[in-house]
Structure 1
Amino acid sequence: MTNIYQFSVKDIDSNPISMKTFEGKTLLIVNTASECGFTPQLKGLEQLYQQYKNKGFVVLGFPCNQFGKQEPGSEKEIAQFCELNYQVTFPLFSKVDVNGKSSSPLFEYLKSEAKGILGTESIKWNFTKFLVNKEGSVVERFASKDKPESIEKSITAIL
């Protein structure tokens, strides 16, 4: 695989979406959770999305319940939580696993293209972020602790 456009995912309403939908856009793909210490990052992610969406930037949120069972709700509950508490308008997708046998093929690709600390592929926690350029190639991986505002320069550098 040479880019993310060969993958299909399901949106928060379980509708199939081709990643080709986002061709030509700069993407920040994030595994999210509603009950995590990093959940307030949703506010910063939404701010980045609002600030740069007219320049072709999109945040894609993929809820994940693999870490501390911090995303126990249904897709409907997740969408409501994100909208009510953080005014999220960026696209949300159906819950995914990001590690293990049932890991999302998209996240398997992202992890192989941008390794973590010490060259590891596995995702360590919620709110790991992958920056993808307009050609669909993974440019950079950010850890959970990297706040959205701290990665803004990396985003603007490839817009």
Structure 2
Amino acid sequence: MTTIYDFQPRLANEQALPLEQLRGKVLLIVNTASKCGFTPQYNGLEAIHRQFHARGLEVLAFPCNQFGGQEPGNAEEIGAFCEKNYGVSFPLFAKIDVNGDQADPLFQYLKKEAPGLLGSKAIKWNFTKFLVGRDGKVFKRYAPQTRPEEIVADIEALLAA
């Protein structure tokens, strides 16, 4: 059976990051976009990263251009935007698809492990979030409109586990 640790997504610089290296950490995996109404959530993601990183949280951002063409830039442009506007210091990955035939395998796995509303496997918009426990199991999926600050209690519970 596949586990979260079997995946090796590519960072923005195209270098693979084997998730095996993050075994034992709590992961917050988010599909992101720079020109979305939810883009200000980068502030909350960065705040959570700074607050909990030393305790074992890893925020992983995956830019995606599938929703309204809201992530048109290349890796360099996306990184510069995130750093300049939101001070993002957590890893940004290479731009991916999260739905359809070309969906990234990691997101195929996440959607299967934590379906959305009414069992939907599709990601409905930017800033869908998946929280993964230290045990590597997908704990919960959060809707795009759920602000990062709203999941702090779940993060704290998983960090304490």
Q: Please give the range of the TM-score, normalised by the shorter of the 2 chains.
A: over 0.9
Residue aligning to 2:133? 133
What are structure 1's unaligned runs of at least 5 residues?
A: none
Instruction: Give the TM-score of the pair, scaled to structure 1.
Output: 0.98
Deviations 1:69-89 (A, max 9, x none): 000000000000000000000
What is the alpha-carbon distance in structure 1 between the residues aligned to residue 140 and residue 14 of structure 2?
A: 28
Shift of 1:2: 4.2
Residue aligning to 2:154? 154
Residue aligning to 1:65? 65
What is the alpha-carbon distance in structure 1 between the residues aligned to residue 89 and residue 118 of structure 2?
A: 34
What is the alpha-carbon distance in structure 2 between the residues aligned to residue 135 and residue 92 of structure 1?
A: 23
Is 1:47 aligned to 2:37, yes or no?
Answer: no
Instruction: Give the TM-score of the pair, scaled to structure 2.
Output: 0.97
Residue aligning to 2:124? 124
Residue aligning to 2:25? 25
Residue aligning to 1:102? 102
Shift of 1:91: 0.7
What is the alpha-carbon distance in structure 1 between the residues aligned to residue 58 and residue 66 of structure 2?
A: 24
Number of paired residues?
A: 159
Shift of 1:11: 0.3
SS at match of 1:17: coil
What is the alpha-carbon distance in structure 1 between the residues aligned to residue 106 and residue 52 of structure 2?
A: 24
Residue aligning to 1:56? 56
What is the alpha-carbon distance in structure 1 between the residues aligned to residue 68 and residue 87 of structure 2?
A: 24
What are structure 2's unaligned runs of at least 5 residues?
A: none
What is the alpha-carbon distance in structure 2 between the residues aligned to residue 129 and residue 140 of structure 1?
A: 8
What is the alpha-carbon distance in structure 2 between the residues aligned to residue 91 and residue 123 of structure 1?
A: 21
Shift of 1:140: 0.2
Q: Could you list the runs of 4 or more consecutive aligned residues of structure 1 that deviate by over 2 angstroms after TM superposition? A: none
Shift of 1:3: 2.0
Identity %: 55
